[in-house]
Structure 1
Amino acid sequence: MFKKVNLCFLAMSLVYLVANGCADKPVAIKDEKTAAMKQVEVKLVSPVKQKLVHTISQPGTLRANEEAMIHAKVVGYAALVMVDIGAKVKGPVYETGGKLVKQGSKLLVVDVPEIVEEVQHKKALMDFAKVGVDLEKKQAEVADAFLLSTEAGLVEARAGIQRAQASYDRWHSENKRVSALVQSKVLDEQTRDEVLNLVKAAESTKDEIMAKVKHAEATVAKSKAEAAKARIAILSAESRLDVTKAELRKAEALAAYTTIYAPFDGVVTKRSVDPGKLVQDNSSPNTEPLFIISQIDPVRVVVEVPEIENAYVNPGEDALVTFHALPGKEFSCKVSRISWALDSSSRNLRAEIDLPNPEGILRPGMYASIRIKAVLAEAFVLPLGAIVRTPDGAFGFKIVDGKAQKVDLKIGRVEGEWVELLGTREAGSTSDWKPIDTKEAFISANVATLSPGQPVSVAATAQK
């Protein structure tokens, strides 16, 4: 009997609970609808025209401003290693025109005895060539002096022609006179024969002088040729001297490679050579660099910008750089340069940002986070809170007769807290979009909680 009473009591309790639960549900729905239509206080905002700022966030890597892998030009043994990792080095000093004034810091001296001997050999050849030039010049002086002597002999010989001709003319005339006197029996024939012999002697003297002149002329021609040959010999000797000088400069240039200098101001970040080690040249692609020199002030941050964002990145754009290894530090800067062309494999645009590093706290290889802020063209915008975005489009609310009225919105870019507004029209309409009216006010916040026709009131201070 007691068991049956308990079962009846439990059954009645269950019916009562179910009945009460079913009765409460419609009451809750009614309360929610009532709350939804309750008047709410809102703020208004109108479209404004301003420049949007597009922020591009990408990881990056800190690199040295300049980095050089130092290899040897000649093969030899490391004689003197001048620096170690962490050492600060100085680069060369040049004049305005590019002439070297002072070499950079010494890094390494390579011992190559055969190059030293080659330089001495080229110096000896150059000295020998100098002597050859001097000898040819002396021989040219001798040839010039001999030419002058032969020319003087030619002048003398030509003067003898006149003398011989005068003697011949005299005795020839005398022979005519004596012959006439012999015919007149004034002089005897013996006198005539003596004069005739003198005529023949004068004629022989004349022929002898003419032969001497021809010989003198031939000697002068030969002397001129010898003098020209001597001058050519001088040019040849001077050319040989120039060749030996060039060979000496080449040997000295090769010898200069036995001392390796720093190419710019920086820090030695790697060293892989010890005294006595055989130093190889860089003819093999697998040759390990002897040193790596990095310029660390300034440094550059390298960031790879995806193709979809590349149009927004240009030199001069504002940027903010942070480093995981330096929490709390931010570096405001600008984009220094871009590659302009996208990498064919990654389709990324390379952008670089220069950062001053006087204290040396920024070290190559550090991981960086970069935010590049690209300023876009002016556009009409509304706060993000004034717009509801759905798959079917965007909408907002404005106030008409104290109630919330839904308005369809045509939007463009969304940048931070602002949304580009391109046009408006009545909710559900398919008409053309209306141009932006800066006097039109929209509810500025919490629009997703509003319902069309819900009573609203404007707060005392409206957002502009």
Structure 2
Amino acid sequence: MITTRYRKFAIPLCIVVGLALQSCKSEGKKMDENNSETAVLTHQGFLLKKGEVSSTFRIPGELIANQQVDLYAKVSSFVDKLLVDVGSEVKQGQLLVTLEAPEISSQLAGAESRLKSFEAVYLASKAHYDRLVKTSKTPGTISQNDLDMAFANEQSDMAKWESAKAAFREIADTKNYLEIRAPFSGVITSRNVSPGAYVGPSGRGSEMPLFTLLEQKKLRLVVNVPELYAASLNKSDSVEFTVRSFPGKIFSAEVSRLAGALDDRLRSERVEMDVDNTEGELLPKMVADVTIPVNTNGSSFAVPQSAILNSTLGMFVIKVENDSSVWVPVSVGRSGGNITEVFGELTDGDVLLKSVSEEIRDKAPIKVEITE
């Protein structure tokens, strides 16, 4: 039984406890209201669909001569006359240098003498055989054996004459090597000999070529395209490039040749473009900055970059299913502008969030507003 002494304290205490309980209920009500407000936050979303991604990427390339050759002496000889020098523009077939080899002239004279000797022997054998054939028409004058022997001698002498002609042509052709002519039109870019120098085949008298000849009116632009973009280029596709010598000037070229295989070391495909250089502005060995267009075929899903969540767990897009968020693992492909290819367990018409962050947890309640 509560005494009068404590009754006066009990009533205020009950009032305090009651107020506290009422305050707790109010706080709980406010928290429930806040949670309810958080759950109904609306995010912008879009319907997933396939689309093309168009972009470009820049890659270094090199300009090389369409044709280039180092010219050596075919036979051991001495330089007689140099008719061109560094920077000379030459035409196909133009004489560049004459060489001197006296022993070849002597060999040619000897071969010519042997040729004439065998020719005379053959003509005599042929005349003898022809006379026997004519005489043999009178029965009993020439035996068949004598006729056969004469014919065999004629054929033998003719073979020796043909052999002498071949030997003469061989030495004559060798003498022709004493004149070196341009195999194609171009520019002489190096000269390594002077008149009187001893020259010969590479490794036997000439460690360096006599001349280096390059074709400059037409150049090749060579680039090594990475595996990711190897399928983006086809023959006749146009590309643009710049060089440091002409800042701000854009050159163009068409794809002419594709290697059709990846390089073992760089895992890239060699691609060549023909470049018209009629004006002679560009030079072989220039480094070019090449811009290559990249266009997908529209068979993959394309999403805004803001829709891709790059977290410590991997890359995801957030799909909305039954008013809940679902983190879907994806891998990305090529990008163009603000659009990126994604690959994963996705289907046409899935609803994805347009802007994502790690604050949107997996399996969390969510509401979405579809926008274009």
The alignment's TM-score, normalised by the length of structure 1, stands at: 0.60
Seen in structure 2, the aligned counterparts of structure 1 residues 420 and 347 have a Cα distance that, compared at 3 Å, is: closer
Distance between the aligned counterparts of 1:135 and 1:304, measured in 2?
70
What residue in structure 2 maps to residue 394 of structure 1?
316
Tell me the SS of whatever aligns to 1:264: coil
Cα deviations by residue, 1:352-394 (Å, 9 ceiling, x for unpaired)? 2221111111111111222333433322212224444333333
What residue in structure 1 maps to residue 160 of structure 2?
240
Residues matched between the structures, number:
328
Seen in structure 2, the aligned counterparts of structure 1 residues 303 and 369 have a Cα distance that, compared at 3 Å, is: same
The answer to whether structure 1 residue 382 and structure 2 residue 294 are counterparts is no
Letter in 1 for 2:100: D
Query: Higher helix share goes to which structure?
Result: 1
Q: 1:120 aligns with which of 104, 109, 116?
A: 109
Tell me the SS of whatever aligns to 2:202: coil
The CA deviation at 1:108 is 0.8
Letter in 1 for 2:259: S
The CA deviation at 1:312 is 5.1
Seen in structure 2, the aligned counterparts of structure 1 residues 408 and 145 have a Cα distance that, compared at 3 Å, is: closer
Letter in 2 for 1:380: F
Distance between the aligned counterparts of 1:308 and 1:451, measured in 2?
32
Matches within 5 A, 1:329-348: 329-348=249-268
The CA deviation at 1:409 is 5.0
The CA deviation at 1:327 is 1.5
The CA deviation at 1:451 is 7.2
Seen in structure 2, the aligned counterparts of structure 1 residues 447 and 79 have a Cα distance that, compared at 3 Å, is: same
Matches within 5 A, 1:201-212: none
**Maintained 8 Å contact 2:49/2:349:** no
Letter in 1 for 2:107: E
**Maintained 8 Å contact 2:258/2:270:** yes
The answer to whether structure 1 residue 293 and structure 2 residue 213 are counterparts is yes
What residue in structure 2 maps to residue 437 of structure 1?
349
Q: 2:143 aligns with which of 197, 208, 223?
A: 223
Letter in 2 for 1:250: E
Distance between the aligned counterparts of 1:305 and 1:414, measured in 2?
14
**Maintained 8 Å contact 1:300/1:354:** yes
Seen in structure 2, the aligned counterparts of structure 1 residues 385 and 422 have a Cα distance that, compared at 3 Å, is: same
What residue in structure 1 maps to residue 120 of structure 2?
131
What residue in structure 2 maps to residue 258 of structure 1?
178
Distance between the aligned counterparts of 2:181 and 2:43, measured in 1?
73
Q: Percent identity?
A: 26
**Maintained 8 Å contact 1:318/1:334:** yes
Letter in 2 for 1:383: P
The answer to whether structure 1 residue 74 and structure 2 residue 63 are counterparts is no
Distance between the aligned counterparts of 1:348 and 1:434, measured in 2?
30
Cα RMSD over matched residues? Answer: 3.8
Seen in structure 2, the aligned counterparts of structure 1 residues 448 and 317 have a Cα distance that, compared at 3 Å, is: farther
Tell me the SS of whatever aligns to 2:87: coil
What residue in structure 1 maps to residue 18 of structure 2?
none
The CA deviation at 1:249 is 1.0
Seen in structure 2, the aligned counterparts of structure 1 residues 251 and 442 have a Cα distance that, compared at 3 Å, is: same
Seen in structure 2, the aligned counterparts of structure 1 residues 389 and 343 have a Cα distance that, compared at 3 Å, is: closer
Letter in 1 for 2:349: D
What residue in structure 2 maps to residue 144 of structure 1?
133
Seen in structure 2, the aligned counterparts of structure 1 residues 284 and 391 have a Cα distance that, compared at 3 Å, is: farther
Matches within 5 A, 1:288-437: 288-306=208-226, 310=230, 315-378=235-298, 379-392=300-313, 393-395=315-317, 408-411=327-330, 412-417=332-337, 418-422=339-343, 433=345, 435-437=347-349
The CA deviation at 1:144 is 3.2
The CA deviation at 1:291 is 0.7
What residue in structure 1 maps to residue 17 of structure 2?
none
Distance between the aligned counterparts of 1:373 and 1:298, measured in 2?
23
Seen in structure 2, the aligned counterparts of structure 1 residues 48 and 457 have a Cα distance that, compared at 3 Å, is: closer
Tell me the SS of whatever aligns to 1:377: coil
Q: Which moved more, 1:270-279 or 1:332-341?
A: 332-341
What residue in structure 1 maps to residue 30 of structure 2?
none
The CA deviation at 1:64 is 0.6
Cα deviations by residue, 1:34-82 (Å, 9 ceiling, x for unpaired)? xxx9xx9998765443333465543222111111011110111111111
**Maintained 8 Å contact 1:58/1:370:** yes
The answer to whether structure 1 residue 88 and structure 2 residue 64 are counterparts is no
Matches within 5 A, 1:19-34: none
Distance between the aligned counterparts of 2:108 and 2:191, measured in 1?
30
Structure with the greater alpha carbon radius of gyration:
1
What residue in structure 2 maps to residue 203 of structure 1?
none
Letter in 1 for 2:316: A
Letter in 1 for 2:63: L
Distance between the aligned counterparts of 2:206 and 2:295, measured in 1?
47
The alignment's TM-score, normalised by the length of structure 2, stands at: 0.74
**Maintained 8 Å contact 1:267/1:294:** yes
What residue in structure 1 maps to residue 95 of structure 2?
106
Cα deviations by residue, 1:211-261 (Å, 9 ceiling, x for unpaired)? xxxxxxxxx4x5332222222222112111111111111111101100101
Tell me the SS of whatever aligns to 1:327: coil
Letter in 2 for 1:70: L
Tell me the SS of whatever aligns to 1:372: strand
